[in-house]
Amino acid sequence: MGTLFRVVVHGDDAAAAQQAMDAAFARGRELDARLSDYRPDSEINRLTHGRVSDDLWTVLVMAQRIARESNGAFDVTLGPVVRLWREARRTRRLPSEAERTRARAQSGWQRVRLDEAARTVAIDPGTRFDFGGIAKGYAADEMLAVLRERGFPRSLVAAGGDIAVGDAPPGQLGWRIKPDWTNEQLTLKNCAVSTSGDSEQWVEIGGERYSHIVDPRTGLGLRNSSPVTVIAPRGLLADPLATALSVLPREEGAHLLRRFPGVRAVRP
Ligand code: ADP
Ligand code: MG
């Protein structure tokens, strides 16, 4: 998934903790093989139609729900647009109007149809997925679940800015987490926290600073995006909602959040 995963576990039995961490990382690698767009052989890069793994189904259902509720501000079918934008970040040249129009025409969450009863997926030809805004949050949830199952509920899994936390560390109220845009610490347990923002990944072109998050309406990276941190019961929600809130105007973002009880956002 193009990032480093970090795991913290509190417990008494170091050997058992090591085994639990190994199992958690194995689960992470399994998800990488399914959901990473960096791997040509990943499930999402080979997908055409039909039945998919339980993991891909779970992620697609949530991705499509958030795409619908955010009017496409968050959209995992933006693969062509994200790829074009990655190229622009690399070469420091904006894509042409024609290139952007073509990439946008090949994108759109309506290109994917989920048949809940048959549990199958139908996808328009030429669709390219990019789960970069949701896979890390889901992976953090799933790795934390492995640690919990193995008897280590006082654990944390961090995939860059996507973090899932279990029970509090011994003697503490929660895990102290400081998003990189603020000096304020959050104290959290049994939830997920995701930060989106351009403090780490951005590029300057023609004197403008652009984010690695793309605006589906322009096909360009976001300009002047301000950071946002989302706290939710699961990373599967926190991660994509943080990305969606980055794209949407504040009012629309607040409207989106009201549809997800138990989720809150912190922003400057
Ligand atoms: P990070 O990768 O830094 O955690 P995000 O969770 O916001 O940040 O995800 C950004 C990634 O998601 C991009 O690198 C790209 O792969 C993908 N992406 C970019 N724009 C969008 C968008 N509007 N909707 C869905 N995914 C996006
Ligand atoms: Mg995200």
Return the ligand 1 atom nearest residue 215 CA.
Answer: 23
pLDDT for 135-162, tens place per residue?
A: 999 999 999 999 999 999 999 999 999 9
- Burial environment of residue 12 by CB neighbours within 10 A (0 to 12, 13 to 18, 19 or more): exposed
- Ligand 1, atom 22: nearest CA belongs to which residue? 74
What stretches in the chain show pLDDT beneath 50? none
- Whether ligand 1 lies within 6 angstroms of the CB of 132 is answered as yes
The structural domains of the chain, with segments of one domain joined by +, span 5-266
Q: What is the pLDDT of residue 200?
A: 67
Q: What is the pLDDT of residue 265?
A: 97
Q: What is the pLDDT of residue 31?
A: 96
At residue 227, what are phi and psi to the nearest 5 degrees? -70, 160
- Whether ligand 1 lies within 6 angstroms of the CB of 216 is answered as yes
Q: H helices of the chain, where?
A: 14-35, 43-46, 54-69, 79-91, 97-105, 135-149, 235-247, 250-257
Q: What is the pLDDT of residue 7?
A: 98
The CATH number assigned to the domain with range 5-266 reads 3.10.520.10
- Whether ligand 1 lies within 6 angstroms of the CB of 247 is answered as yes
- Whether ligand 1 lies within 6 angstroms of the CB of 243 is answered as yes
Going from the Cα of 21 to the center of ligand 1, the distance in angstroms, rounded, reads 27
Q: Residue 67's CB: how many other CB atoms inside 10 A? A: 23
- Whether ligand 1 lies within 6 angstroms of the CB of 222 is answered as no
pTM for the structure as a whole: 0.96
Q: What is the pLDDT of residue 39?
A: 84
235 with 162: CB under 8 angstroms? yes
